Amino acid sequence: MNQNTIETSIPLAEIGDLNMESAAITIQSAEIKGPTMRLVVSYSGGCAEHSFRLIGSAMLTKSLPPQRAVKLIHTNNGDQCKKMITDTLLFDVTPLANNGAKDKTVVLNLDGVVTLKSLVLEF
């Protein structure tokens, strides 16, 4: 993909296994606007393509509003290069909503991130 290409589709978050292996990554900031989570991340690499998945636990807490554990999975494809890369990732977090409830509000607890403001998904 060349630098002039504009990514028009935003990957969907998914419900899955939070125990999946992930390469090292630092999440510098996280925010939700509408159905989109925006993450600013940094990681080492530069010699191979990296991919990212946002996985949410199938379980919701019984709190009000309910909470869902979420983890960013980083696949570095064996990249051993040491260049420090900063990227902005966007995910459609619609699949993480509480579709079984009238009130669609869910607090997303993103692994490795401490925010002053909760990551709240509302529909």
- Stated pTM of the model: 0.87
More confident residue, 123 or 79: 79
Q: Which residue matches tokens 């690499």? A: 45
pLDDT, position 101: 67
Least confident of 54-58, 73-77, 79-83, 114-118: 114-118
Map out the domains of the chain with their CATH numbers.
14-121 (2.60.40.2370)
- Exposure string of 14-53, with b = 16+ CB inside 10 Å and e = fewer, is eebeeeeebbebebeebebeebebebebebbbeeeebebb
- Tens-digit pLDDT profile for residues 9-41: 899 999 999 999 999 999 999 999 999 999 999
Using CA atoms, how far residue 89 sits from 59, 66, 119, in Å, is 24, 25, 15
Per the prediction, the chain carries an average pLDDT of 89
Distance CA 7, CA 9 (A): 6
